Structure 1
Amino acid sequence: MSAVDSPHGKGDQPCTTCESWKLAEAVANSRRDHSRATDCRVLLKRHQEGAECGAGGEG
């Protein structure tokens, strides 16, 4: 699979911002902070739909 065909956009590296939002959501869930977890999911989706995401809307 070439870098262009990769589900992570550039190379095989996932988008670090996406990974950060996913981690923040997991932490919020572990603390039973459902409001924060929802915020993280919304911000992740907005990020993935934006031009700055290297993952091309993964996940």
Structure 2
Amino acid sequence: MKYIMLFIWSALLVSVLNYVVASIQNVEFSLNLGLGISVAFSVFLILISAVIPNESPKQVGHQQ
């Protein structure tokens, strides 16, 4: 479920960003380009989340 929501949010945000940039530059809006970039962004975020550990680092030198 989290991967589906990741793709939906990335598709929404990248498409909005793509629309705004296309409007500012006065070029044609391409939904396919935005969806392609959002898929790449989603895969990048999934890979980054797999590399980063979930637990916090242990405090060195702290004795209880």
Which TM-score band (shorter chain)?
0.3 to 0.5
Q: TM-score by structure 2 length?
A: 0.36
Q: TM-score by structure 1 length?
A: 0.39
